[in-house]
């Protein structure tokens, strides 16, 4: 009964519902139309539905997301001269501008590392164009100060709007302090592109991934059912693959 309920929920709610609708339309086009062009359109729709299905399932995370999130593991011993934590974004809530969940997850890990190592923390990230009037890094600083981190231990980098700029401006700060090695904290899915960017600016990087987007477990029945969480996680990984490709052609 539980499996039946899970299956019905996956099929009758987005994204599964939309995949089912387009699949039905595709089958109708192939079955009912006499025109070759229309039949080809139906076949193309079925192929697109298949890829949409993969993107919407836990099974798809094994193909798209996990290769990125498993690229690095958190080290047992942390070495570096500073902790660099990358911002994610801001949510404009009824209470004002607040950090999104990804930024908070990254900050929580950086805060934990700071308590262990007493290393200074560089928070990097500018305002969100068209959405916020305050730099994300300033809210990140306030989050750390509210938890008792000394202001002398927090360095704000308020200009970066991309991962590449996070690396560039953070490297400038490190140069001012004669730091050559950092502990880099960001979401696991984002870490590979972030490490590549920081290394291109001459820094030695110890990756410390956090904020995993989906379960890292063996496949089960539910992993073959479409769901919004898997779709969001897989779309984030697709964004990262395109970002990595784009950064191949960038240089300091």
pLDDT tens profile 111-135: 999 999 999 999 999 987 777 789 9
pLDDT tens for each residue of 129-150: 777 789 999 999 999 999 999 9
| Strands 181-187 vs 82-86: parallel, antiparallel or unpaired | parallel
pLDDT-derived band at 226 (thresholds 50, 70, 90) equals very high
Rounded-to-integer distance, Cα 121 and Cα 157, Å: 11
CA distances from 45 to 15, 19, 51, 141 (A): 15, 10, 10, 48
Rounded-to-integer distance, Cα 58 and Cα 233, Å: 9
H or E element at residue 38: helix 36-55
pLDDT tens for each residue of 17-28: 999 999 999 999
Q: Does the model's pTM come out above 0.85?
A: yes
pLDDT tens for each residue of 34-61: 888 999 999 999 999 999 999 999 999 9
Rounded-to-integer distance, Cα 25 and Cα 240, Å: 32
What's the confidence (pLDDT) of residue 58?
Answer: 97
pLDDT tens for each residue of 83-96: 999 999 999 889 88
Average pLDDT for 211-238 = 96
Average pLDDT for 54-75 = 97
What's the confidence (pLDDT) of residue 251?
Answer: 84
What's the confidence (pLDDT) of residue 204?
Answer: 98
pLDDT tens for each residue of 185-212: 999 999 999 999 999 999 999 999 999 9
pLDDT-derived band at 32 (thresholds 50, 70, 90) equals confident
């Amino acid at each position: 009964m539980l499996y039946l309920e899970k299956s019905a929920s996956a099929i009758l709610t987005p994204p599964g519902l939309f995949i089912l609708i387009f699949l039905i339309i595709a089958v109708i086009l192939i079955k009912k139309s006499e025109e070759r062009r229309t039949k080809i359109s139906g076949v193309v729709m079925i192929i697109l539905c298949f890829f949409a299905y993969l993107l919407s399932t836990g099974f798809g995370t094994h193909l798209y997301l996990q290769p990125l999130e498993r690229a690095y593991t958190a080290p047992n011993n942390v070495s570096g001269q500073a902790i660099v934590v990358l911002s994610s974004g801001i949510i404009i809530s009824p209470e004002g501008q607040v950090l999104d969940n990804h930024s908070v997850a990254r900050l929580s890990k950086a805060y934990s590392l700071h308590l262990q190592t007493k290393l200074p923390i560089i928070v990097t990230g500018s305002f969100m164009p068209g959405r916020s009037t305050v730099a994300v890094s300033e809210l990140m600083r306030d989050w750390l100060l509210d938890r008792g981190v000394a202001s002398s231990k927090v360095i704000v980098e308020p200009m970066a709007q991309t991962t590449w700029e996070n690396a560039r401006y953070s490297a400038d700060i490190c140069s001012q302090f004669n730091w050559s090695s950092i502990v880099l904290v960001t979401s696991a899915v984002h870490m590979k592109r972030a490490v590549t960017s920081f290394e291109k600016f001459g820094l030695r990087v110890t990756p410390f991934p956090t904020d995993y987007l989906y379960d890292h477990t063996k496949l089960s029945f539910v992993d073959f059912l479409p769901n919004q969480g898997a779709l969001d996680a897989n779309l984030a990984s697709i964004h990262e693959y395109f970002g990595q490709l784009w950064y191949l052609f960038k240089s300091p």
